[in-house]
Amino acid sequence: QDIILGRCSMCHTTEPAYDGIHWAPKGIVLDTPAAIAREARRIYVQAGLTSAMPPANVSFIEPGERAAIIAWYRGVTATDG
């Protein structure tokens, strides 16, 4: 959650703070724990497995943070069945 709030919610929020972004890209809002949980798979693919997000790594997400996203998602889905 801390990684997503720190690296993604600058754009993926109801009122983006990133210059030039006027609304959350693709309408994906990641500024609450519930919203992050809802988008877990998308976060896993876009920011964990690939480097698609953030574009050009504008928020400087670290390889260890990407690994943590992968571990988080796999842990979440492993307990979900």
- Rounded to whole angstroms, the Cα distance separating 53 from 7 reads 9
User: Chain-centre distance of CA 59, in angstroms?
Assistant: 11
Q: Give me the sign of the Cα torsion angle 44, 55, 6, 29.
A: negative
Q: Which two tokens stand for residue 46?
A: 């876009």
- Rounded to whole angstroms, the Cα distance separating 73 from 49 reads 11
Question: What is the identity of the amino acid at 33?
Answer: P
Mean pLDDT, residues 61-81: 85
Q: The whole model's pTM is what?
A: 0.87
pLDDT level of residue 81 (50, 70, 90 thresholds): very low
